[in-house]
Amino acid sequence: MRSFSERGGHQVRCSVTALLSFGLSAAAAAPGAPGRDSNVAVHVIEKKQFPDRGKQEIALYPTVVQVNGKYTQHLGTAISYTYHLHENFALQLLPQYNWYARESALSQELIDKTSQQPLAANSLLLFWGIQAGVEVAPIYGKFVFYQRHLVRFGLVLNGGIGLGSTRHQLKPSNASGPATYGDTGLKFLGSVGGGFRVQLGERFAIRLEIRDLVYTARVDRVNGCNADDLAAMAARIDQGQGVAGASVSSGCDVSSFDGIDPRTNYNRSNDVPLALGLVSSRSSDVRNTVGFYAGLALVF
């Protein structure tokens, strides 16, 4: 009899607990239940609705803006191809073309007011570049937009290495004509960056990133011509002769300093002493071009 009472008491306690739990749940679910807090929501841990593993992604960045333009200004367009090996690790390829690459207003002011210009290494311009690298997403989550739309996002970190084509301004824009530029060759290019990737459904995503492009800025050739080549052309100019007959190395593009530009009527040989002065300065540095990348991606 005693054993039966203990078991019966246990059954009564379990039943009361179940009824209380059911009553509290029903009260919370009732629309007009007193004391209900409408701001309280149940958060459920769930798998990502749109997994990235095995997916490919192509992102277009219509306008890439340099944000640290002390001596240079860059505006360009980039495209990235990303292959997601895992949910938080991907391989990436990023070509970029800067359709606007000029010295900054500060550089022009130095030239106009003090007849000085920044060292060649400080004002080297990046014309185009291509990099291969990796991207990781260490943090991802979701938030509610306008209390109605669930938006998923991820913090992304990326890095890459590659090559970039550089050039340098030879003559600023003035009364004699527009600015002229000389090709300073291919340079080693690297980058580190990070930002946010916001998922818009299964097929689209928005990317907002900051990337720091790092490239070597040693100037020892202009249009493939070294100091000896440019000195030989300058000597012929001093003798009243054309640069076409100068004895130069095989990689020197003499035609870039020869003749009259039909679009501007500018005598290209005027750039020879400017290029010689640029190469003779022997400056070298590592340039950091920090850019803001905003783009739309297609995931497939």
Per-residue confidence (pLDDT) for residue 206, from 0 to 100: 95
pLDDT tens profile 187-210: 999 999 999 999 888 899 999 999
Contacts of 217 (CB under 8 A, 6+ apart): 120, 121, 122, 124, 166, 187, 283, 284, 285, 286, 287
The C-alpha atoms of residue 230 and residue 246 are separated, in whole angstroms, by: 9
Per-residue confidence (pLDDT) for residue 278, from 0 to 100: 87
pLDDT band at 286 (very low <50, low <70, confident <90, very high): confident
pLDDT at 28 over 60: no
pLDDT at 275 over 90: yes
pLDDT at 165 over 50: yes
Longest dimension (CA), the chain: 128
pLDDT at 103 over 80: yes
Output the average pLDDT for the chain: 82
Walk me through the domains of the chain, giving residue ranges and CATH numbers.
56-219+281-299 (2.40.160.20)
